[in-house]
Amino acid sequence: MTLQGDALKDAIGQTRAKWGWFVGLGVLLLILGGIASGNLFIATVASVYVVGWLMLMAGIIEIMHAFGVKTW
């Protein structure tokens, strides 16, 4: 077996050991999705804020990166 195959086997084993967390996350996402469907206005406003913050953070990081690059 190759090194890649062994790494994949280990990753699958680690994921299989934590299957309860994936089920819990799925249930949480279903509950939050149901709440968001019930409160469309609040969900819309919240998603706009999240996307806005992500864009602001990406812009700040891009400006920092632009000053860090010495050559084009």
pLDDT at 2: 59
One domain for residues 17 and 50: no
One domain for residues 48 and 25: no
Contact 36, 43 (CB under 8 A): yes
One domain for residues 52 and 72: yes
Residues 6+ apart with CB under 8 A from 9: 1
Q: pTM for this structure?
A: 0.58
pLDDT in tens, 31-46: 999 999 999 999 999 9
One domain for residues 22 and 49: no
Which tokens belong to 26? 């799925």
pLDDT in tens, 3-31: 577 888 888 888 888 889 999 999 999 99
Distance CA(23)–CA(56), nearest Å, equals 33
One domain for residues 54 and 70: yes
User: What's the total number of domains in the chain?
Assistant: 2
DSSP for 27-49, written as a single string: HHHHHHHHHHHH-HHHHHHHHHH
pLDDT at 3: 59
pLDDT at 21: 92
pLDDT at 16: 82
What is the extent of the structural domain holding 50?
Answer: 40-72
One domain for residues 23 and 48: no
